[in-house]
Amino acid sequence: MKTTPPILVAKEITAGYGNQVIIRNINLELYKSTITTIIGPNGCGKSTFLKSISGIIDPVEGRILINDIEVTNLNTFELSKMGLGYVPQSENIFPSLSVIDNLKMGGYILDNQKYKINLNKVLEMFPDLKSKLFDSASNLSGGQRQMLALSRALMLDPKIIMLDEPTAGLSPVIVDEVLDNIISLKKSSITVLLVEQNAKKALSISDKGVVFSFGKKVMEDDAKNILKNKQISKLYLGG
Amino acid sequence: MKKLDILLDNKILSLIIIVICLASFLKPWLLINGILIGSLYSLGSIGLSLIYGNLKFANMAHGDFMTLSSYIALTLMMFLFPNSENSTSVGPFTFKYELLMVMPLAVIIIGFMAVILDKLIFKKLRKLNATSAAIALCSLGLAVSIRGLIQFIWGTDSARFPRESKLFWDLPFRIKIPPDMFFCSVVAVIIAIIFYLVLFKTTLGKAIRATSDNPDLARITGINTDRIILYIWFIGGILAATAGILISVQQALITPVMGWKILIPLFAAVIVGGIGNPIGALIGGILIGITGELATGWINPSYKPAVYFFVLLIVLLLRPNGILGNKGRQF
């Protein structure tokens, strides 16, 4: 896995909200066409880490590099131009817009031709959205919303995509569908960084697992090894 | 049809419509006046609602943008066309052709001024994570400053655009319409339609609505929200300036406090319609205009602001989110 240089490097990231530091000195490397899952208890800083990478919150300390280019403190919209996609846990669609307009906003910076190509591509990936294109996004079900959020993020052809609890609140059948979509992202050479509460299922499709606790990275290993780890299994994977 | 259902389902709106219909039946000329004045309120309140919907604060300086636009248009007219007082007026209207020439220029100046003020003041407050109340208070300070500047430059006396007196249009049912009022309302409606088309049919408009929905998500999506906010200020400034000049034409009067005074019906219109909702602001503006004018058939016109607040109170008591609330399309 580590024969090629990492596509994203987070070095010693410390971040939080206002004066409150949530995560401290987190290091992480992501490699092309891999799935990395971050697990850990609620409030351990998983989402904060994704937000600091995506530029929604500025890290207090640390550096972020994409393809060896320094992107620390770069504007969020500039990061998205550089191929970093992010799907937040909640409020991840524009409810006042229609489904097609959500996708249009996903491809806001694309020229018309590229927008049409990418639109067809994501609609092939998520055919359920085809019949809902002119419906208001606020009328979609939970699963459809997640599909729309993922499609919107894919409109810019991201090289890296960060998904914050994409299966939260979904029925088991839809969870499997979402995880299948994540596997297909990897097959399309997209690097995936996943934060998931369905830790067992997420690790089962991942190459690498990372464990956060109290704002720190406490473990990083192959996903298979983490799944086999009895202590981790007892603490975070439901025994 | 869905929008019609929203309106018909709304009991409070139905009640107000019944009262308005009864009053209109008794004094139809007041209804027509109310619709015409209301269309101008709508134009002002759409701009106010646009800023509120996106930047989440009540821009107290909106009314003074309106006043300033009138004084700038007047100055441009005097400077560029010194003989405009003696020139002919436009058809049946009281105003001169020169006003139509300087109006776009004054409107654009106010649009750019709004952008500059955002860069100098409001952007810095946003970066400091100032609360909505703090930003609104700052806009109040800006409003007072603009008014002071107007009084310093143009004095405290009233002024007016060069004009020529014209007869009102006599219509059946004792309806008399000043031609200027009709012109101003038609322009207001055209601009409101253009604004609606920009907001709902163009990519820029959709990006403005996306930014209003969720600025963080808009940034993640690749939208330069800082630039979108500048567009919002520019459009808000243009709407305020257009409404200001049209109201000055309609009233045949420009005073340093006209914008400040009109802020009351504008805020009432925005809140009655549903804060941050463009269709709501449009409906709210017309409704406030109609109720204010109809009331003058039975009470002294100087009590009009009390009528606006009465309508506001009734609507908020029965429907705290305004008539359309969250049902209509938000900015």
- Cβ-defined contact of B223 to A91 (cutoff 8 Å): no
Phi, psi of B26 (to 5 degrees): -75, -40
The beta-carbon neighbor of B209 closest among A91, A97, A108 is A97
B327: helix, strand or coil? coil
Q: Is B123 an 8 Å CB contact of chain A? A: no
pLDDT in tens, B169-189: 888 878 888 899 899 999 988
| Per-residue confidence band for B28, with pLDDT thresholds at 50, 70 and 90 | confident
Q: Give the model's pLDDT for residue A157.
A: 92
- Cβ-defined contact of B223 to A105 (cutoff 8 Å): yes
Helices B28-55 + B203-213 axis angle, to 10: 70
- Cβ-defined contact of A94 to B329 (cutoff 8 Å): no
When pLDDT is averaged across residues B60-70 and rounded to a whole number, the result is 96
CA angle (B275, B278, B284) in 5-degree steps: 65
pLDDT in tens, A71-113: 998 888 899 989 999 999 888 999 989 999 999 999 999 999 9
Q: Is the pLDDT confidence value at B91 over 90?
A: no
| Per-residue confidence band for A4, with pLDDT thresholds at 50, 70 and 90 | confident
> Who has greater pLDDT, B119 or B10?
B119
Chain A interface test: which of B200, B220, B226 (most A C-beta within 10 Å): B220
When pLDDT is averaged across residues A150-163 and rounded to a whole number, the result is 94
When pLDDT is averaged across residues A38-65 and rounded to a whole number, the result is 92
Phi, psi of B159 (to 5 degrees): -135, 175
Among B70, B18, B113, residue whose Cα is nearest residue B256:
B70
When pLDDT is averaged across residues B255-260 and rounded to a whole number, the result is 94
Adjacent-strand bridge partners of B96? B89
Give the least confident one: A40-44, A78-82, B277-281. Answer: B277-281
Angstroms from A237 CA to nearest CA on chain B = 31
Q: What is the pTM of this model?
A: 0.86
Q: Is the pLDDT confidence value at B295 over 80?
A: yes
End-to-end Cα distance, chain A: 29
Angstroms from A126 CA to nearest CA on chain B = 19
Q: Is B222 an 8 Å CB contact of chain A? A: yes
- Cβ-defined contact of A97 to B203 (cutoff 8 Å): no
Angstroms from B207 CA to nearest CA on chain A = 7
Give one DSSP letter per residue of B284-317, joined into a string. Answer: HHHHHHHHHHHHTTTS-GGGHHHHHHHHHHHHHH
Contact between B74 and B161 under an 8 Å Cβ cutoff? The reply is: yes
Mean pLDDT (chain B, rounded): 89
| Per-residue confidence band for B72, with pLDDT thresholds at 50, 70 and 90 | very high
Cα A12 to Cα A17: distance, rounded to the nearest angstrom: 17
Mean pLDDT (chain A, rounded): 91
- Cβ-defined contact of A80 to B217 (cutoff 8 Å): no
Cα B37 to Cα A150: distance, rounded to the nearest angstrom: 47
Helix (H) or strand (E) holding A50: helix A46-54
Radius of gyration of chain A (CA): 17
> Who has greater pLDDT, A3 or B266?
B266
Q: What is the percent of chain B with per-residue pLDDT over 70, rounded to a whole number?
A: 94
Helix (H) or strand (E) holding A208: strand A208-213
Angstroms from A224 CA to nearest CA on chain B = 32
DSSP E strand boundaries for chain B:
169-171, 175-177
Q: Give the model's pLDDT for residue B328.
A: 46
When pLDDT is averaged across residues B151-158 and rounded to a whole number, the result is 94
When pLDDT is averaged across residues A136-148 and rounded to a whole number, the result is 90
When pLDDT is averaged across residues A108-137 and rounded to a whole number, the result is 92
Cα A40 to Cα B168: distance, rounded to the nearest angstrom: 76
When pLDDT is averaged across residues B163-168 and rounded to a whole number, the result is 84
